[in-house]
Structure 1
Amino acid sequence: MKIQTKNKIVIIGAGGLGKGIAQLIIDLNKVEDVWELLGYLDDDINLRGKTVNNYPVLGQIELLADRKFHDVYAMSAIGLSSGRIQIIRKALEMNRNLRFPTLIHPTAIIGEETEIGEGTSVGAYAIVEPGNRIGSHVLVHYGTTIGHDCVIEDFSTVLPGTNVSGFVKLCYGTYLGTNVSVLPGVEVGTRTIVGAGAAVIHSLPAYCTAVGVPAKLIKYHDEVAASRMGGE
């Protein structure tokens, strides 16, 4: 009988989100035991040698340059979109062979004709209706609902309990806080941040922060500085 070789994987980031990604991998292994979680990489030197959720913090991200990590998968557990952009760039500088899985929790519901990119995770009890296009390195947290025919571009973040209606577009690096509601047909611009509990009833421009019910723009970000960090 042929023994199946497990895929080795590391989590970049040992904070609360890192714990959540570890639990997602654990839950996937209960269905089909295909992942060997080696531990975490984190640039916080105070975490080195410690364990998080029973897995070791192996060291800083520079370890990815080591030969023993040549064939591993990596999953980013950096919640803020701008930080995730930076860390993925850095990881690929360390290891051009690095691969990024698509992790979908066994309890999530994924509709037909939905595309989900590499490095993207979909959490427990999330509902993704048919016809969606979800990019790479996107975080769709637990208990979220994504309506039909949406476009969610790379490095976007959708926090727990958020409800995104149909025909919505979340542009590159969008960040939706916990329990946000987005009405049908709305577009949220590149790198825009929407505060927790907001209701987005009209489209929002790029590089801004919006809060409230209904969501109102309260400030613009420095677009030049943001673009230097990897925005489009």
Structure 2
Amino acid sequence: MSLIVLCAGGHARVVIEALLSRGTRPSAVTDRDSARVGTMCGGIPITGPDEDILKMKPDQVELANGLGNRASRSSSGLSARRELFDRFAALGYKFPVITHAATVVASDASLGEGAQVMAGVIIQPAARIGRNVLVNTRAVVEHDCQVGDHCHIAPGAVLCGGVLVGEGAHVGAGAVVLSGVSLGAGAVVAAGAVITKNVEAGAFVAATGNRTS
């Protein structure tokens, strides 16, 4: 069965490297920019738009979500990544779990469909990672954390024990969420923030700890 990476951006190259580290070479990359067709992404050819996937049956191909996000004060920026995943999943296409070879994942940790665990990540016992979650480079997810579907735990972020992260939330690079804290759905934690208290759904927390809705 072939594997195709959706969207030929920077995150797609990171996904390709993770796949290559496990000995899996994608057959193609898709991108909506027709000018990029015929060029390469991470050494893999860009063959056409996402719609080309529909020419293949779901039992003929697996997909990897190569779309990243850019969070802001008003949004986690994850809606497009979620919509891409949901569109093809609803049609029966499968997204395998992707883990870079240089990761540590506890034997009883759970990774949902399409979860991506990048180089240097540590996921500890009884952690639960949802569908289409991106745990990025060198992030740490400690014991008993629960990360909802479609979240992004950015590079170097640390979730201490028992943290609950609501669906579609973004935890910024280098942020630390202390033990037992809950982040509401769609919350955005800025890079470098230290979170000591629960965060409401859709709220933004700056590096100073100030919250806005």
Tell me whether 1:15 sits opposite 2:26 in the alignment: no
Which residue does 1:32 correspond to in 2?
none
- Residue in 2 that maps onto 1:224: none
**Residue matched to 1:76:** 65
3-state SS of paired residue (2:8): coil
1:1-232 map, 5 Å: 7-29=1-23, 35-67=24-56, 71-80=60-69, 81-92=78-89, 96-213=91-208, 215-218=209-212, 220=213
Q: What is the distance in 2 between the residues matched to 1:97 and 1:175? A: 27
1:68 Cα offset (Å): 6.5
Give the whole-Å Cα distance in 2 for the aligned partners of 1:169 and 1:139.
Answer: 15
Measured in 2, the distance between the counterparts of 1:192 and 1:47 equals: 34
Classify 1:48/1:69 alpha carbon distance in 2 versus 1 (closer, same or farther; 3 Å).
Answer: farther
Scaled by the length of structure 1, the TM-score of the pair is 0.84
Aligned residues: CA RMSD: 1.5
Distance 1:154 1:191 in 2: 11
Counterpart amino acid of residue 175 in structure 1: H
Higher gyration radius (CA): 1
Q: Whose relative contact order is higher, 1 or 2, with alpha carbons under 8 Å and at least 6 apart? A: 2
Contact persistence 1:170–1:188 (CA under 8 A): yes
Q: Secondary structure at the match of 1:9?
A: strand
- Amino acid paired to 1:132: A
Normalized against structure 2, the TM-score is what? 0.91
Whether the aligned pair in 2 keeps the contact of 1:71 and 1:98 (CA below 8 Å) is no
> Which sits farther off after the overlay, 64-73 or 135-144?
64-73
CA distance in 1, matches of 2:202, 2:126: 27
CA distance in 2, matches of 1:13, 1:178: 22
Displacement of 1:157: 0.4
User: What residue identity is the alignment partner of 1:160?
Assistant: P
Range with greater deviation from structure 2 (55-64 or 147-156): 55-64
Q: d(CA) in 1 for partners of 2:82 and 2:95? A: 14
Structure 1: runs of 5 or more not aligned: 1-6, 30-34, 221-232
Higher mean Cα deviation, 56-65 or 13-22? Answer: 56-65
Kindly tell me the number of residue pairs found equivalent between the two proteins.
Answer: 205
